Structure 1
Amino acid sequence: MTYHAKVIAGGKVVIPAEIRRELGIKDGDTLVVDRSESGGVRFMTFEQAVQASQAKARAIFGANYTVDTFLQERRADWGEE
């Protein structure tokens, strides 16, 4: 479904109520604004942005790569093990 959002004074964007309800966006919540490669703009909840970042990291490092694995690798690089 396509929605329209209005830009009001100060560059504020009014997000349609139905979308806010579906995504659980409440007054005062933080949204991440991302400029797409096609030149558009994408709004995401903070949770969606974190999940997208985690998915990118899994694609690069694999699903089993952990902080402990990273630290172990760095310590080996620094000669600490």
Structure 2
Amino acid sequence: MTIQVNITPNGRMSLPADIRKRLGLTGGGAVYLDETDDGVVLRTMPQLVAQAQALARQYRDAPGASIDSFLAERAAESGE
């Protein structure tokens, strides 16, 4: 869905009420802005947490990602 949001001369913009309601921002709140190569993405804190958890899962589930594997690699690199 693409909507137009106007920005005032002092930089303020308003999110439409239906979007605020879907995002759980009915009583106000914060959104976080990411500037990407494709444009700007607004996310809520729960969305950011979910994104960080998904990224962490990629590394947690990678082969050799255990603490024991890490320590064994460090020991091998140091010649111990």
Same fold (TM over 0.5): yes
User: 2:35 maps to what in 1?
Assistant: 35
Runs of 4+ with deviation above 4 angstroms: none
Q: CA RMSD in A?
A: 2.3
Task: Give percent identity, aligned residues only.
Answer: 29
**TM-score normalised according to structure 2 size:** 0.67
In 2, Cα distance between the equivalents of 1:37 and 1:56?
Answer: 19
Show the counterpart of 1:60: 59
Letter paired with 1:15 = L
Which segments of 5 or more consecutive residues in structure 2 lack a partner in the other structure? Answer: 75-80
Q: How far, CA to CA, are the matches of 1:8 and 1:44 in structure 2?
A: 21
**What secondary structure, in the 3-state scheme, does the structure 2 residue paired with 1:14 have?**
coil
Q: Which has the larger radius of gyration?
A: 2
Q: Deviations over 1:14-63 (max 9, x none)?
A: 11111111111132x1111001232x000000110111011011112229
Q: How many residues were matched structurally?
A: 68
More strand by share: 1
Which blocks of at least 5 consecutive residues in structure 1 are unaligned? 64-68
TM-score, normalization by structure 1: 0.67
Alpha-carbon distance in 2 for matches of 1:46, 1:9: 27
For residues 16 and 37 of structure 2, the distance between their equivalents in structure 1, rounded to whole angstroms, comes to 24
